[in-house]
Copies of this chain bind each other. A is one copy, B any other.
Amino acid sequence: MNRDPGENPHVGSLTGEEIAKHNSRDSCWVIVHNKAYDVTEFLPEHPGGPKIILKYAGKDATEEYAPIHPPDTLDKFLPKDKHLGPVNMDTVEQEVKEESPEEKERQERIKGMPKLEACYNLMDFETVARYVMKKPAWAYYSSGADDEITMRENHSAFHKIWFRPKILVDVENVDISTKMLGTKVDIPFYVTATALGKLGNPEGEVVLTRGAHKHNVIQMIPTLASCSFDEIVDAKQGDQVQWLQLYVNKDREITKKIVQHAEARGVKGLFITVDAPQLGRREKDMRTKFDDTGSNVQNTGGDNVDRSQGAARAISSFIDPSLSWKDIPWFLSITKMPILLKGVQRVEDVLKAIECGVHGVVLSNHGGRQLDTARSGIEVLAEVMPILRERGLQDKIEIYIDGGVRRATDIIKAMCLGAKGVGIGRPFLFAMSAYGLPGVDRAMQLLKDEMIMNMRLIGAAKVEDLTPDMLDIAGARSHFVTQPEDTLALRAYDALITPNEMLKGKL
């Protein structure tokens, strides 16, 4: 039902023939979910540029439109008089799209997909997703800023921290539950906000809602979801808790409306994204959008900045780059929800946040999708906590981190340092894209299994037992760039051979 909010497709009064006449920049009609819309005047304002709409001028655009727009988008942004009404879809010529060789190969890969049980850890889901997802969807989810150094650093940073486990602690009964903003959760992670869930699964973010419910963890609803906010709230079950991630709109009235609506609908925390005054350049994403017909060498330079820039750029033009510390009191005034700043990256700003009276921060670099060579959340945590403790401020605020969490050992390291919990995003998207809800379920269960096991092995029976002395963080804030190699000497070196190689050499 989510997938087709239109009415009976056989009874609309508009015909395909009529719509097909409006196929130009001068008069541009499109069909979405069995209804027609006049988008002529909207063309220049489309965040993704007019070109992509004009490709569907006079035609059915639903397939392209659906994964990247919540279903209520047209109601919200297109004046009612441009809603032309239902279309008799029988009269609309169906384009018979031939399957591309690439797509055929992908379908083959899907047939030979590994069983879900063959996934033993969160990286496995990523591997499978890369294998079966459509390329642009994979590119949107998996891409990072510039050279993707920060994106990868987020994960590898955890390996700079080593354990100092305690032995001979009674760990028969291990309790991995904890509290986040007052909510009891089964394990110290939450599903962090990620955009465009329908690129990975036709149902979109509600799949994550269901997974979060099953494992009693919190879901953070993204501003840029493919499902509408209300759809995602509607999907919650029982006393399931959700938070809202917020990109602040240039029009503060819209922002206010969103925040107060969320509070009214029971959302328990407001996470204001502060690391994205502009959404990042992600070249992997941009490349998959590259249109190799119609461009030419002449048409270059500054005038094409906003075109063909990948999904990220298309969906984010409303974000307000002037948002500043001055705005925080206003947010505190419009809602009773706890307010947290998502994307804090230096201790000075954590101290400012405490002064401001917000309730928490997420140390995050936006999954490595914004500023490249920005430091990982876990590294910033190692910078922040000793200073907070020194000043007695460690309990004034809740500190979360996200980015690169793949193993329960990663979660444990963050908790030892002093985090209240960690956000996990892409891994659940990949699990959902490859296997749907069962994938999300298994991914979460694997984390729980790993967590119980590793709590035992580090000698902690409950989350509060995780303390900084259980870590060796001497290298946590170091960065080792390997020096360029001496190619000629490396090539001249004749490596040692093994007995098997000796044998093969003889055959």
A453 touches B281 (CB 8 A): yes
A489 touches B445 (CB 8 A): no
Q: How many copies does the complex hold?
A: 4
> Per a CB cutoff under 8 Å, which of B126, B280, B497 touches A287?
B497
B287 touches A120 (CB 8 A): yes
B118 touches A290 (CB 8 A): yes
B118 touches A300 (CB 8 A): no
A124 touches B499 (CB 8 A): yes
B284 touches A457 (CB 8 A): no
Smallest CB–CB gap between A121 and chain B, Å? Answer: 7
The interface size of chain A toward B, counting residues with CB under 8 Å, comes to 137
Cβ of A449 under 8 Å from chain B: yes
A484 touches B152 (CB 8 A): yes
Cβ of A271 under 8 Å from chain B: no
Smallest CB–CB gap between A283 and chain B, Å? Answer: 5
Most chain B beta-carbon contacts within 10 A, residue among A164, A274, A506: A164
Which residues of chain A (438-468) have a CB below 8 Å from chain B? Answer: 438, 441-442, 445, 448-450, 453-454, 456-458
- Given contact pairs A373-B409, A491-B127, A290 touches B324 in the complex (Cβ within 8 A): no
A167 touches B341 (CB 8 A): yes
A115 touches B295 (CB 8 A): yes
Q: In whole angstroms, what is the CA distance A19 to B123 when docked?
A: 46
Cβ contacts under 8 Å, A159 to chain B: 149, 373, 479, 481, 483, 486
Minimum CB distance partner of A442 in chain B: B300
B121 touches A409 (CB 8 A): no
Smallest CB–CB gap between A92 and chain B, Å? Answer: 31
Cβ contacts under 8 Å, A254 to chain B: none
Would you give 7 A-B contacts (Cβ < 8 Å), ordered by A? A118-B287, A148-B487, A163-B371, A171-B321, A305-B449, A372-B407, A373-B409
Footprint of B on A, CB under 8 Å? 112-121, 123-124, 126-128, 130-131, 138, 142, 146-149, 151-153, 155-172, 214, 274-278, 280-281, 283-284, 286-287, 290, 292, 295-298, 300-302, 304-305, 308, 320-325, 327-328, 341, 343-346, 348-349, 352, 370-375, 406-407, 409, 435, 438, 441-442, 445, 448-450, 453-454, 456-458, 469, 472, 474-475, 477-489, 491-500, 502-503, 506-507
